[in-house]
Structure 1
Amino acid sequence: MTLPTTESVRAALDTVIDPEIRRPITELGMVREIELLPEGAVRAHIDLTTAGCPLKATIVSEVTEAVSQVEGVTSVQVEMGVMSPEQRVRLKKQLRGGEGDPVIPFAQPGNLTKVFAIASGKGGVGKSSLTANLAVAMARDGLRVGVVDADIYGFSIPGMLGARSMPTKVDDMLLPPIAHDVKVVSIGMFVQPGQPVVWRGPMLHRALQQFLGDVFWGDLDVLLLDLPPGTGDIAISVAQLLPGSEILVVTTPQQAAAEVAERAGSIARQTQQGVVGVVENMSWLVQPDGSRLEVFGSGGGEQVASSLSKTLGTTVPLVGQVPLDIALREAGDTGVPVVLSAPESDAARALVDISRALVAKERGLAGRKLNITPV
């Protein structure tokens, strides 16, 4: 009978990916010891990042399954422990690229993550539902996506994405929950249900700074920020902390909403950000006979795009129009975005098209190293 070896068991453990950090547990130093017992039995000692790791059962299951596939293994025992303070320090330095102190990775020269700030001039235009669905649509297309719920007072992203678990804390570093393959963080994960957040500007800035720097996001292709309405503290902080971010303006078709939405895009003149485009939400309601009922009028998205193009001196396209859809509202309530729950609906198809248009756009040069030297 062929018996397993330490090397063969470790090779199997190389395939086990930590569900929060999304890296092999062997690479993260989570495998403390491999014991080879008589008659092909194996005992694997695994150290969790924290004692209260919410995905402990998942790790046990995946370790058991991986090791069971090794030739000669007859049984698997998984003994769970907890990383020592020294191990956690090493892990933090490893994840932060050798730096012990937090930095905002998306603001570093050479970072290739596309950062989109979803903005509007007023509330109620559907920024949060748009953010949640764009994130999930991008993740379905194979991209690594993160979402920051930057609407500190009116947070709603956790509910819309069905992200109900708390971030895992590794000393001063947070591992964000993952919902529908999207990493997400929100102040709503840290307050009791129904509890308001009563903060002034400096505290808002600090909260956003922590979401960006203290959270381990890993290598993201896209980061979406769901901004609060208007052009206040958070919008200014985003421009300061993420100089390479681009604004996606959301409006509804009606004139009043369009005029206010223009202000959310016009802030780019002062903050030196780009405006990636305009999305018109609630554009029409499809009737049983296939006709369109324009509940909120028409033309708002085109108006905002045209006005911002003139104001900013560059082309700001109307990226897409999303119809009113009961399935979209129901999906937001259940925490399963419509691009997953009803992918063939008109709203879902429009949202997927918008997500692909954003991803296809080249990332701007702001904040990036150009590898040129003056002569």
Structure 2
Amino acid sequence: MIKPVETPRKITVKGSPFEQGAAHGRLARPLIRQNIKLMEEVLEKSSFDRSEFWCRLKANFEFLTRTEPELVEELKGLAAGAEIDFAEILFINIPLFFVFNWLPQECTMVYFGPRATADGRSYLLKNRDMGFNLEHVILTREYGDNRSVIELNGAGIVTYPGNGLNSEGLALATTGVWSRRIPITLDQSRSCHVLLNSHLVLEKCSTVDQALSYLREVPRMNGLNLILSDKNKAVAVELTRDGMVVEDCVEGVLFRSNHYVAEELTHLNQTEEEYPSTYRRYERIAEYVWPRMGRLAFQDMLLLAQDHKHGPVNCICRHGTADAPSKTIYSSIIVPEDEQVWTTLTNPCESMLAASLSSLT
């Protein structure tokens, strides 16, 4: 009897950038090949001009080669370890498909700070929602200078983790902002990151203030939302192509879905009629957290991650329909004080089952 090959979902890599990539590629080889096949199938169904796509991808690779040579070495290691053509690794790591709105990520993130929690700890939740089943891994990087980073990302992808934590205590989560009203200039592919590379934030920065300085300078084609926290502060960042608006964590909680909240950026959003899901999820978090301020706990993060109010499409734990296929493909909670990242690589309601002698809500 042939036993199925089990691919680890928790991967630890160390060494040079090439060695880290090679270990990732070797350990997650079946998942990486599956992700490439999946994205190629999506590309085949798209009406976008193929020659222009590959021209833009090549231009962005040349930008990365000039500005982030160690990242390029890691991508080369990935290709070698996975025994996959380098062009296919570039295809899944240079996220042009998101910019062209083929594969939007519709995610939710929530931060509880020490002022808001019963135990004085902080918690950062990220639900990543996609319209396709991208296979993910939990990647721990160990660097030679005793630094380490934990990232949640698609297998074979190192350029846009959805959330992560480094050993200096900097935690990060992201959500995309998807709107036809946001201008995108394709010619910038030769001089900008397609999306913010959140891996580089965790690798290069130790504090929220350092991350904010990095975000002010790094060139990018598009914006997104971030929550950043360290041992002393937390902020929500609404990032655009040309600037950013920062919200300090004054009340003890922060949360975002897939639209801008800052008044000066709301003209870029889709309307509630056009994109009800992002507004319903945001409203649901506010409805849940504000009455519980000062009493919030890890269990509340679990309950929010599994929340189905306004479902199946407009809820935090999403299951998708034929007309709105986005579903939650992972849920992850960072506990910075304990240097822990808790993750389920599926709908959280299906893998975190709770029983209680009193109401869970």
Instruction: Give me the TM-score of the superposition, normalised by structure 2.
Output: 0.31
Larger radius of gyration: 1
